[in-house]
Amino acid sequence: MTRHAIKPRKVAFDWSRTKPQWIANEPFVSHLTNSTHILLPIAEAWFCQVFKEALPHVTDDGLRDEVIAFMRQEAIHGGAHKPLIEHFLSHGMDIRDGVAKTQRLIDFLFGDPARIFGLLPARGKRLARWWLGTRVGVIAAGEHFTCILGRFILENREIDALDHDAVMMDLLRWHGAEEVEHRAVALELYQHLTGAPLTNRLLVMGFVVPLLTWYWIESTRYLMAQDPDLAEKPGFFAEWRKAAGRNLIPSARTLLGGSWRFLRPGYNPANEADTAIALDYLAASPAVR
Ligand SMILES: [Fe+2]
Ligand SMILES: [Fe+2]
């Protein structure tokens, strides 16, 4: 892949006319995508924290520049989703408890046990380094999926055909486009720090797939339960199948099939999406302009 200078972009969104059900008559798809407003500000802040810790171990100047640009983009992404928590509250939808629970989950799973490792002289340093590389691997696996989702939303035309909120669509597409743009960085850092051996890639993917699946189901159900404008709460799996059949969301096959590619020896994020499509969108995005 030819190196492309990753560019953090400032954005502005006007949420004043956006409703939590941002696609008319599609509460399930609206809330499935709304789960990103809970998870991403927390997860992306954690990405930045881990990458900051990894930065002193990077010996390649080009990669260091990419890692810094990646961190700037992710910080802006999280900051762009966050105001929707308060905005939804103004629509009678309180999801602050879900945000607090998600923060506790991330802290519990990925908090820095370097202090514990530090207490074990001799082995402590090696364990701390392994834990750093493995967390970078978890991020690389997560970024594989944000690239798949970014590509999906950029190329999707079925949601365009529905009555939807253009500002929310712009948020998802701007974010998705930058995920496509920086899709190789986490894997390159993972390879640089650890060589990304298959055993470790299996470990991180084997952890990320069930975690993300469970989280997506739970958070979508939670959002639907908190929505005062939704009298009947639809069942997750039946709605997923129906919406995926109409290409409003990616199918389980697209997502699970994607996880196998990450494990293949010749896996290359360059083949996962087209940077030119992402840059075209970013040049036209109302939030960026
Ligand atoms: Fe992001
Ligand atoms: Fe990302």
Q: List, for residues 210-245, the tens digit of each pLDDT value.
A: 999 999 999 999 999 999 999 888 899 999 999 999
Q: Say which ligand is closest to the CA of 148.
A: 2
- How many angstroms does the Cα of residue 86 sit away from the middle of ligand 1? 20
- How many angstroms does the Cα of residue 115 sit away from the middle of ligand 1? 29
Q: In CATH, what is the architecture of 30-284?
A: Orthogonal Bundle (1.10)
- How many angstroms does the Cα of residue 231 sit away from the middle of ligand 1? 32
pLDDT band per the 50, 70, 90 thresholds, residue 122: low
Q: What count of other Cβ atoms lies within 10 Å of the Cβ of residue 218?
A: 15
Distances (CA, A) of 12 to 19, 116, 138, 178: 17, 42, 30, 15
Q: Which of 2-6, 78-82, 145-149 has the lowest mean pLDDT?
A: 2-6
**Separation CA 152–CA 177 (nearest Å):** 10
Sign of CA dihedral 286, 186, 240, 232: negative
- How many angstroms does the Cα of residue 226 sit away from the middle of ligand 1? 25
pTM of the model: 0.94
Q: Say which ligand is closest to the CA of 183.
A: 2
- How many angstroms does the Cα of residue 224 sit away from the middle of ligand 2? 26
Q: Is the pLDDT of residue 121 over 70?
A: no
- DSSP 8-state code for residue 164: B
- Matching residue, tokens 């939807």: 164
- How many angstroms does the Cα of residue 11 sit away from the middle of ligand 1? 13
- How many angstroms does the Cα of residue 161 sit away from the middle of ligand 2? 27
For ligand 1, a single-atom ion, the residues with CB < 5 A are 74, 77
Q: Say which ligand is closest to the CA of 146.
A: 2
**Separation CA 127–CA 152 (nearest Å):** 37
The domain spans of the chain are: 30-284
